[in-house]
C-alpha cells in the first residue's frame, strides 16, 4: 500500500482493461486525499472495472474501497529498497456499483469540496446499497406497557436518564411502533437507550419488512390534461428544444407558487423519456410526499423513489433497477443527484433555493452545483425551479449561465393572496399586553372557520418558551455543553438544548444564584398551540414540528386529515411551508416573522423573505381568495414589505445591490474554515494559524480572509468554535484557498478543522 495524489490517477482512459493491470489504484473512505496502490492477484484482474468495490488491507484491518483504475508499480523507497504493494483481498458486489460517469463526478466533488475521492465515492451510494448483507427487514420498536404508564415512567426517569425518557415518550405517541432508525432520530439518541429499555421489558423489538413504503400505496394521479398557458408553452418549448439539441443547458424556472411549474417538469421529462433517456427529480426531503410521487406515477409507470424509509435490501434492488435503466424517473432528496441512471436526459431541482440541498457532513456538496456539473458532463438539461430562487441562481441567470423562464401568474384557479403586515409592538400597546395572535389574525381565522375553511400558522421555533430567565441574577438558563439558551418544552416537563439535545427537568430555582422561579421568555409552537386552543376552544388542530412528527407516517396522517377537512388548523415550524397544496386554506398566519431576521447570517433576509413568500403561497390555491397576516416587530423590514407585495424582483434587486456593496455571495465565493477545540484559546490559536496560512494563498486583489473570529454559536457539545471566512473574487481563488486549507491536518493537537466550500450555514 502506498499513496499517490489522486490528481495523477488516470480515469476514463480505459473502459475494460485491455491488459490486466498488475497494480490497482484504490480509493478509501478515509480523510486522506490520495489513492492507494495495491497489487492485483491473478484471479481478480478480469473483474476489476472502475467503480467496483474491493476489499483491501488497510493498517491492521481490511476495508472496502473503490477501484478507480490501474496504477504504476510502487516507487522504491528513499533508501532505494523495493516497496511491496499489499494485495487486494476480494472483489465486492457483482459488478461496479458506480458507472464511470459517477466515478468521474466523485473526483470532481473531492476536488471542489476538499474531501478524499474515497469519501466522495462512498457518498454517491446510499448506505444500504453498500452493506454486504442487505437486510430485507427493518427493526421496529413498540411499547410493551400501556402508553400512560410509559409517560409516567418517562417523567420519573427524566432526571437520571433523559434519553430513555425520550424514547418512552416518543413511543407513547405511536401505538403501532416506530422504525428504530426513526425512533433514535426522534429521541436524539443512539442504540443503547433503546436496547436497555428492551432488556427491561418496557419495549419490544421486532423485525418488519411490510407496509413500510408509504409511496406504494399512493394511487397514480392521472395527468390533469390542462392546456398550457402561453407562459408555460414558452417555458416548455425552451426546455424541449434544449433536450432535442442533446447538448447540456441550464434553466431557471422562476414561477410564483401554483403557477404550473410541475406541469413543465412533467412534460419536459416526457420529452426526455420519449427519447430513451432518464430524468432525476430532486425535491427537499420534506416535500417528498405521496401526493408528489402520485402525480409523477400518473405520467410515468416506471418511477423510482429514493427515500429514507426503504429497507437496505429494497434500496439495493432499486439501485440495480436504476442502473439497468429500468426507471425512467428517479425522485428523491439531495443524494438522488447520484442516481446511476445510464442515459441522463434531465435533472429537475424543485424548490432549488432550499438550504437542505447542501449536505452538512463530508462531503459538503451542494446538490444544485453537483447537478449542474453532472448535466454538463452528460450533455443533459438542468431545470431549476422555484417561486423564490436563491440569489445565486438569480445572479447566474443575470449573467446568462442559466436561461431564465418566468411564470408570472397562477395557472388555473387561484390568485395571489392579499398579505397584511401587523405591527406587534402597536398591537401590544392597543391590547395592553404582549400577544401571540393579533386581533386581525384572530378575526380572519374566525371568518375562515365559520365558512368551513382552514388556516395554516407558521412559527419557526418549537417548544414552549425559547429561554428561561432569572429575575434575580438576570441570567438565562444555558446548556452546559453549548453556548445557547435551553428551550422550555412544557409538555415534557423539561428544558432542552436544541443544539445537542441535552434535556433536564425544569429547575424550580435558578441554578446560578438559587433565585426562586424562572421567567419564560420568547415563544414556540407548543405555546402557540395552547393560545390557539384558548382563543378557539372548539378548534380541530394539529401541530407539526420535530417534537410531534417522528416519521413519514405521522406527517401523512396529519396532512391526510387536513386534506379531508377533519382539521381546521395546522400550526408548525417551516415544515408546513413547503409545497402543501390544500384548496381549503384561505388564511395563513406568520406568527413571528422576526425569528429568522435575528440570525447572524448574511442570508437572514433572504431566508425570511423566502419563508414568508412560500408560506403565503399556501393560501388561496383554489377559487376562495387567500389572506395572509405577517406579524412582526419590524413592520418596515424590506424583506417583509417585498414579500407582502409579492415583489420578488424588487427584493432580489435590493438584496443583490446590498451584497455587491458589502461583498457577499453571489459576488464573491466563500470558503469557511471552522476550528473546534476543548478550550476557546486552543480553537482561537489554531484558527489564527489556519487563517494566516490561507491568506498566503490569495493573490493580491484576489480576495480577503475574515477572522479568526468566534462562531455565532460559540460552543457546541463542549467544543469551542472559531472560524475564518475566505471571500474569494472568483472560483479560481476560491479553489486555491480550498487547496491550501486542505493542507492543514483535519485533526491536530485536539483541534478539528472543517472546510466548508460555498457554505450555507454561517453560524
Ligand atoms: P407549481 O408547481 O408551480 O406550484 P403546479 O404545477 O402544481 O404548480 O400547478 C398548480 C395547479 O394548477 C395544479 O392543480 C395544476 O394541475 C394546475 N395547472 C397547472 N397548469 C395549468 C393550466 N395551464 N391550466 C389549468 N390548470 C393548471
Ligand atoms: Zn447543548
Q: What is the pLDDT of residues 49-72, one digit of tens each?
A: 999 999 999 989 999 999 999 998
CATH number of 138-208: 1.10.10
Euclidean distance between CA atoms 85 and 1, whole angstroms: 5
Please choose, from the candidates 567, 572, 570, 578, the residue with its C-alpha nearest in 3D space to the C-alpha of residue 546: 572
Nearest CA to ligand 1 atom 23: 228
Nearest CA to ligand 1 atom 4: 258
Q: Is 232 in the pocket of ligand 1 (CB under 6 A)?
A: yes
Q: Is 229 in the pocket of ligand 1 (CB under 6 A)?
A: yes
Q: CATH 3.40.50.300 occupies which residues in the chain?
A: 230-407, 418-464+523-658
Sequence-ordered strand ranges (E) for 183-310: 203-208, 249-255, 278-282, 303-305
- What is the 3-class SS of 286-319, one letter each residue? HHCCHHHHHHHHHHCCCEEECCCCCCHHHHHHHH
Quickly list H helices, 187-229. 191-199
Could you report the per-residue pLDDT of 432-443, keeping only the tens digit for each? Answer: 988 899 999 999
Q: Which fold has domain 418-464+523-658?
A: Rossmann fold (3.40.50)
- Exposed, middle or buried, 600 (CB in 10 Å: 0-12/13-18/19+)? exposed
Please choose, from the candidates 453, 457, 459, 458, the residue with its C-alpha nearest in 3D space to the C-alpha of residue 585: 453
Could you report the per-residue pLDDT of 724-763, keeping only the tens digit for each? Answer: 999 999 999 999 999 999 998 788 889 999 999 999 988 8
Q: Is the pLDDT of residue 48 over 60?
A: yes
Q: CATH 1.10.10 occupies which residues in the chain?
A: 138-208
Whole-number Å distance, alpha carbon 261 to ligand 1 midpoint, is: 7
Phi, psi of 320 (to 5 degrees): -65, -40
CATH number of 2-125: 3.40.1440.60
Nearest CA to ligand 1 atom 24: 412
Predicted local distance difference test score (pLDDT) of residue 579:
60
Q: Is the pLDDT of residue 374 over 60?
A: yes
H helices then E strands: how many in the chain?
A: 22, 32
| Ligand 1 atom, smallest distance to 224 CA | 16
Q: Is 228 in the pocket of ligand 1 (CB under 6 A)?
A: yes
Whole-number Å distance, alpha carbon 259 to ligand 1 midpoint, is: 6
Euclidean distance between CA atoms 336 and 371, whole angstroms: 10
Q: CATH 3.30.70.600 occupies which residues in the chain?
A: 669-757
Higher pLDDT, 475 or 20: 475
Q: Which three cell numbers stand for residue 61?
A: 484491518
Place 14 in a pLDDT band, splitting at 50, 70 and 90.
very low
Whole-number Å distance, alpha carbon 413 to ligand 1 midpoint, is: 9
Euclidean distance between CA atoms 160 and 174, whole angstroms: 24
| Helix or strand run (H / E) with residue 542 | strand 541-544
CB atoms within 10 A of CB 476: 18
Place 216 in a pLDDT band, splitting at 50, 70 and 90.
low
Identify the three-state secondary structure at position 501: coil
Higher pLDDT, 661 or 508: 661
Q: Is 340 in the pocket of ligand 1 (CB under 6 A)?
A: no
- What is the 3-class SS of 327-380, one letter each residue? CCEEEECHHHHHCCCCCEEEEEEECCCCHHHECCCCCCCEHHHHHHHHHHHHCC
Nearest CA to ligand 1 atom 21: 411
Q: CATH 3.40.1440.60 occupies which residues in the chain?
A: 2-125
Predicted local distance difference test score (pLDDT) of residue 30:
87
The CATH architecture annotation of domain 230-407 reads 3-Layer(aba) Sandwich (3.40)
Looking at all shown ligands, the one closest to residue 583's CA atom is 1
Euclidean distance between CA atoms 424 and 593, whole angstroms: 10
CB atoms within 10 A of CB 517: 12
Euclidean distance between CA atoms 340 and 570, whole angstroms: 38
| Helix or strand run (H / E) with residue 713 | strand 703-716
Q: Is 257 in the pocket of ligand 1 (CB under 6 A)?
A: yes
The CATH architecture annotation of domain 669-757 reads 2-Layer Sandwich (3.30)
Q: Which three cell numbers stand for residue 331?
A: 425522485
- The answer to whether the beta carbons of residues 729 and 667 sit under 8 Å apart is no
Measured CA distances, 351 to 252, 334, 475, 611 (Å): 11, 12, 41, 12
Predicted local distance difference test score (pLDDT) of residue 17:
46
Euclidean distance between CA atoms 522 and 465, whole angstroms: 5
- Exposed, middle or buried, 70 (CB in 10 Å: 0-12/13-18/19+)? buried
Euclidean distance between CA atoms 26 and 43, whole angstroms: 17
Q: Is 578 in the pocket of ligand 1 (CB under 6 A)?
A: no
Q: Which three cell numbers stand for residue 166?
A: 425520550
Amino acid at each position: 500500500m502506498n499513496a499517490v495524489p489522486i490528481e495523477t490517477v488516470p480515469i476514463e482512459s480505459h473502459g475494460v482493461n485491455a491488459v490486466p493491470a498488475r497494480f490497482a489504484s484504490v480509493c478509501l473512505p478515509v480523510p486522506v486525499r490520495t489513492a492507494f496502490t495495491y497489487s492485483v492477484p491473478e484471479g481478480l484482474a478480469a473483474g476489476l472495472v472502475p467503480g467496483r468495490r474491493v476489499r483491501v488491507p488497510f493498517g491492521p484491518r481490511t476495508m472496502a474501497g473503490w477501484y478507480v483504475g490501474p496504477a504504476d508499480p510502487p516507487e522504491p523507497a528513499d533508501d532505494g529498497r523495493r516497496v511491496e504493494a499489499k494485495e487486494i483481498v476480494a472483489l465486492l458486489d457483482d459488478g461496479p456499483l458506480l458507472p464511470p460517469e459517477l466515478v468521474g463526478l466523485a473526483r470532481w466533488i473531492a476536488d471542489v469540496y476538499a474531501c478524499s475521492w474515497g469519501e466522495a465515492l462512498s457518498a454517491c451510494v446510499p448506505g444500504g446499497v453498500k452493506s454486504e448483507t442487505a437486510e430485507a427487514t427493518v427493526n421496529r420498536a413498540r411499547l410493551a406497557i400501556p402508553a400512560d404508564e410509559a409517560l409516567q415512567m418517562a417523567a420519573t426517569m427524566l432526571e437520571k436518564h433523559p434519553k430513555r425518557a425520550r424514547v418512552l415518550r416518543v413511543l407513547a405517541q405511536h401505538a403501532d411502533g416506530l422504525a428504530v432508525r426513526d425512533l433514535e432520530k426522534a429521541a436524539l439518541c443512539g442504540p443503547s437507550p433503546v436496547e436497555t429499555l428492551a432488556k427491561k421489558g418496557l419495549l419490544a423489538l421486532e423485525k418488519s419488512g411490510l407496509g413500510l413504503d408509504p409511496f406504494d400505496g399512493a394511487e397514480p394521479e392521472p395527468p390533469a390534461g390542462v392546456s398550457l398557458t402561453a407562459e408555460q408553452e414558452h417555458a416548455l418549448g425552451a426546455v424541449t428544444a434544449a433536450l432535442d439539441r442533446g447538448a447540456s443547458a441550464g434553466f431557471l424556472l422562476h414561477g410564483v407558487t401554483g403557477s404550473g411549474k410541475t406541469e413543465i417538469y412533467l412534460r419536459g421529462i416526457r420529452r426526455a423519456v420519449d427519447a430513451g433517456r432518464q430524468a432525476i427529480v430532486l425535491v427537499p426531503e420534506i416535500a417528498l410526499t405521496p401526493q408528489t410521487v402520485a402525480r409523477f406515477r400518473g405520467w410515468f409507470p416506471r418511477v423510482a423513489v429514493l427515500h429514507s424509509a426503504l429497507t437496505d435490501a429494497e434500496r439495493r434492488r432499486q439501485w440495480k433497477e436504476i442502473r439497468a435503466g429500468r426507471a425512467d424517473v428517479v425522485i428523491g432528496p439531495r443524494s438522488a443527484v447520484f442516481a446511476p441512471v445510464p442515459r441522463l436526459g434531465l435533472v429537475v431541482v424543485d424548490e432549488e433555493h432550499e438550504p437542505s440541498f447542501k449536505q452538512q457532513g463530508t462531503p459538503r456538496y451542494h446538490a444544485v452545483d453537483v447537478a449542474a456539473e453532472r448535466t454538463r458532463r452528460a450533455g443533459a438539461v438542468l431545470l431549476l425551479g422555484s417561486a423564490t430562487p436563491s440569489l445565486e441562481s438569480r445572479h447566474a441567470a443575470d449573467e446568462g449561465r442559466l436561461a431564465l423562464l418566468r411564470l408570472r401568474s397562477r395557472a388555473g384557479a387561484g390568485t395571489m393572496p392579499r398579505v397584511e403586515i401587523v405591527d406587534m409592538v402597536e398591537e401590544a400597546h392597543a391590547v395592553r399586553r404582549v400577544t401571540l395572535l393579533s386581533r386581525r389574525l384572530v378575526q380572519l381565522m374566525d371568518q375562515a372557520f365559520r365558512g368551513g375553511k382552514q388556516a395554516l400558522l407558521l412559527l419557526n421555533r418549537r417548544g414552549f418558551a425559547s429561554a428561561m430567565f432569572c429575575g434575580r441574577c438576570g441570567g438565562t438558563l444555558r446548556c452546559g455543553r453549548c453556548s445557547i439558551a435551553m428551550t422550555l418544552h412544557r409538555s415534557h416537563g423539561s428544558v432542552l438544548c436544541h443544539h445537542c439535545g441535552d434535556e433536564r427537568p425544569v429547575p424550580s430555582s435558578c441554578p446560578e444564584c438559587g433565585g426562586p422561579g424562572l421567567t419564560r421568555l420568547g415563544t414556540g409552537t407548543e405555546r402557540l398551540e395552547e393560545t390557539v386552543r384558548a382563543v378557539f376552544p372548539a378548534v380541530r388542530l394539529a401541530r407539526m414540528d420535530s417534537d410531534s412528527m417522528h416519521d413519514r407516517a405521522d406527517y401523512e396522517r396529519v396532512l391526510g386529515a387536513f386534506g379531508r377537512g377533519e382539521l381546521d388548523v395546522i400550526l408548525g415550524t417551516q415544515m408546513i411551508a413547503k409545497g402543501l397544496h390544500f384548496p381549503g386554506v384561505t388564511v395563513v398566519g406568520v406568527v413571528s416573522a422576526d425569528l429568522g431576521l435575528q440570525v447572524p447570517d448574511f442570508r437572514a433576509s433572504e431566508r425570511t423573505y423566502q419563508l414568508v413568500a412560500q408560506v403565503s403561497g399556501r393560501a388561496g390555491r383554489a377559487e376562495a381568495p387567500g389572506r395572509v397576516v405577517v406579524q412582526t416587530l419590524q413592520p418596515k423590514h424590506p424583506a417583509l414589505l417585498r414579500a407582502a407585495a409579492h415583489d420578488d424582483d424588487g427584493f432580489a434587486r435590493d438584496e443583490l445591490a446590498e451584497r455587491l456593496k458589502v461583498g457577499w455571495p453571489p459576488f464573491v465565493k466563500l470558503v469557511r474554515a471552522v476550528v473546534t477545540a476543548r478550550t476557546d484559546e486552543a480553537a482561537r490559536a489554531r484558527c489564527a494559524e489556519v487563517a494566516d496560512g490561507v491568506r498566503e494563498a490569495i493573490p493580491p486583489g484576489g480576495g480577503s480572509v475574515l477572522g479568526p473570529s468566534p462562531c455565532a454559536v460559540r460552543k457546541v457539545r463542549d467544543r469551542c468554535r472559531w472560524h475564518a471566512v475566505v471571500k474569494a473574487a472568483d472560483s479560481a481563488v476560491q479553489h486555491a484557498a480550498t487547496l491550501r486549507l486542505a493542507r492543514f491536518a483535519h485533526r491536530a493537537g485536539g483541534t478539528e478543522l472543517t472546510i466548508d466550500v460555498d457554505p450555507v450555514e454561517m453560524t
